[in-house]
Structure 1
């Protein structure tokens, strides 16, 4: 591994990563000359794929050095916070569903939303979106919970309202400020720098954080250390073997260079959790973000604008993908790691 100087078209220093962070196998170039088409970070990036068929982790090579990663987030969406808007009909239906099935307190459901939630649950196509993220912790007594990467704080507030002693962690000072304005407890920095005592938390949750981390196995290992016995580490991350990646290839929204440093497969994520110390581990896939990923990938591929026909097509694609998932359960858009200490 050797660090390279900043080149004229590359705003960040980079480091060569020829070997897989999960199994140490050699990598081969999968997609070359990838630019940041989402937030316009300067530079071109190559995405490698592990040559081990039992792993197939993907990663950036060369990869930005950790000290310069902040440069990839200058225009990132977490900097665009806004006042929460009135809930959509779907969010009211979701609130009614979670009140009914998880005893989650809500002020936004009504008889119509409750009726529609029961109907949609019976159809089973949107149930995973309405269950998320409470379903993973439904059998765990409420205690101390840590969320890694809080964004706008919506999920953290959801856990707090549900009765957890919830706190968050985010590297972005703007995210920390926005959450503080909502009365949420959020620390700034990375997990290791917090120096939490061993066995502090009953649960750790992260949604779309793992792909941004330079040393993901070290992150999971630190999570293992600070979890109490019987605690759960739940992590959601893009699925490198998803149906949408197979469809869109280099235009797949899940790639997102240069912020997504590692893209996991089910096998790579299972192996990483076991290397980090977990023995009770499972990885499942789901499609709760499939409509949004389909829409974003289609726009990257065709340069089209967001529109009502595209939103309609994206939701139709999500229905098809959910049906397909019933026969191919590893094809979902996101991987979900569920690891018990």
Structure 2
């Protein structure tokens, strides 16, 4: 595949729409953040893109951008189709999985295998605890498991995990191939968009959105839809790239989190709080982000060099950048507002939202 030829092709003009004001707060004033962005992640989307920053709420957004009817062209090489294969491939991987399962079994009264009982004490002492907690999306450990829905469920990997922990799991995805794969988990999976999910109102205890909100054309409408399908008192969990991260400051237009034109709106802590509150959510709470700067830094370095960020044979981080990424992760522990991703929960109030 000739990546440069794809990037040089324009996105069809009739398939573009203008964004006249900030999609989060409506501010018309803006600053050009980057111009001439191209798809350096999956190399399948034609066009060059401009990203603007809103001075009022701090989010960034593409203008112009693909229309909802044509955005699928940007996902032709996306990775949500294939069935997950997370079987440990080495003795060390098996030990890590056993420790993880021992920790989760103790917290959730589950019966995951393979397991090592020491995991309940060892995992909380390790940096990997953040990965394990984020991997189960900080599901509550008290009370009986209820019903959850993962919007943008992809291949259903999280649905399988949630069911192993006792939850009734539903999934929604726009991609018919992803839906077909996710159904193999045994979860209830439907093909739907966002905000047009087709889900029943007031049905779910938890809605999860893992790196989804940055892909939607109208984040406010999408979050109101999430509120609609939640039971009163239900909880939303979301993760999204953090525009204020150390990685973005380091790599700028080559930062992995930008991913034009699939990422239509990028968030800061302030802008995600604003849109969540405007959608009617309360009790916003930041969750610890996994220590993932090294992954973002490595992908961003490869992007800066025109390499496939997922190619294991491409550039690896030199020692100086490995140390910088480690320091960024340690600083993000003390200052989560600059971690590579924002991870947040919030509550739908008991009263109806207008």
1:62 CA drift (Å)? 0.6
Deviations 1:154-187 (A, max 9, x none): 1111111111111100011111111123323211
Secondary structure, aligned partner of 1:137: coil
Give the match for residue 4 of structure 1: none
Give the Cα–Cα distance (whole angstroms) in 1 for the partners of residues 10 and 231 of structure 2. 46
Give the match for residue 37 of structure 2: 34
Give the match for residue 10 of structure 1: 11
Aligned pairs for 1:182-221 (under 5 A) are: 182-221=185-224
Give the match for residue 173 of structure 1: 176
2:153 pairs with one of 129, 135, 150: 150
Q: Which moved more, 1:264-273 or 1:72-81?
A: 72-81
Secondary structure, aligned partner of 2:316: helix
Give the Cα–Cα distance (whole angstroms) in 1 for the partners of residues 149 and 312 of structure 2. 35
Give the match for residue 51 of structure 1: 55
Give the match for residue 341 of structure 2: 334
In the alignment, does 2:329 pair up with 1:322?
yes
Q: Which moved more, 1:304-313 or 1:278-287?
A: 304-313
Change in 2 beyond 3 A, CA 1:190/1:109: same
Change in 2 beyond 3 A, CA 1:337/1:119: closer
Give the match for residue 5 of structure 2: none
Aligned pairs for 1:19-98 (under 5 A) are: 19-25=21-27, 26-40=29-43, 41-52=45-56, 55-81=57-83, 83-86=85-88, 88-89=93-94, 90-98=96-104
Q: Which moved more, 1:261-270 or 1:282-291?
A: 282-291
Give the Cα–Cα distance (whole angstroms) in 1 for the partners of residues 318 and 140 of structure 2. 32
Change in 2 beyond 3 A, CA 1:316/1:103: farther
Query: So what's the TM-score if we normalise by structure 1?
Result: 0.88
Root-mean-square deviation (Å): 2.5
1:301 CA drift (Å)? 1.7
Gaps of 5+ in 2: 1-7, 349-354
C-alpha contact (below 8 Å) 2:213/2:240 kept by paired residues: yes
Query: So what's the TM-score if we normalise by structure 2?
Result: 0.85
C-alpha contact (below 8 Å) 2:273/2:284 kept by paired residues: yes
Give the Cα–Cα distance (whole angstroms) in 1 for the partners of residues 132 and 323 of structure 2. 18
Give the Cα–Cα distance (whole angstroms) in 2 for the partners of residues 263 and 28 of structure 1. 14
Q: Which moved more, 1:184-193 or 1:58-67?
A: 184-193
1:136 CA drift (Å)? 4.2
C-alpha contact (below 8 Å) 2:101/2:116 kept by paired residues: no
Regions of 4+ moved over 6 Å: none
Give the match for residue 3 of structure 1: none
